[in-house]
Amino acid sequence: MARTLAVWVKDGEGSVIDARDERDGGLHGAGLTLRAGQVVARLDGVGEWATSVAVEAGAWRHLALAFDGRTARLFVDGAQAAQRAYRSEAGRLSPKNYRIAGSRSSEEAAGHTTFRGELRDVRIYDRALGAPEVAAAAHPAQ
């Protein structure tokens, strides 16, 4: 199932947005986290990966994770920062399983913490946005 998770973040640390499906006794899905100033993406079948792009204190940054069943792309400020081959295992994700800036105690025990910072314009798309669409969202016309 294709999806895009997109959000503006500032001065934060922890779980920004998660799409979770609990099945087979584990947590599955996709998500964006800020950890030690780095953007970290998580996706079933790919695992976690961090970008080399740092999120500086005091600056708003646009983050987007787009996955289409074959490829997962992580964007920071409209520019692609990372890409991974991806075979869709997230087909059971549904809107009732999205979590914004939150986590549960079991997730915190696994290193996923509640987001502490500022968020705005959180968007969840039912398709993978292309690079031009993500760039346009990250750099809206004034």
Looking at residue 7, its pLDDT comes to: 93
Confidence (pTM): 0.83
User: Residue 22: its pLDDT value, please?
Assistant: 59
pLDDT (0 to 100) of residue 90? 47
Q: What is the pLDDT along the chain (142 residues), one digit of tens a residue?
A: 788 999 999 888 888 888 776 555 445 678 888 888 888 888 876 778 888 887 888 889 999 999 888 889 999 999 999 998 877 654 555 555 777 887 554 455 455 567 878 888 999 898 999 999 999 999 876 4
**What per-residue confidence (pLDDT) applies to 42?**
85
Position 26 scores a pLDDT of: 46
User: d(Cα 39, Cα 37) in Å, to the nearest integer?
Assistant: 7
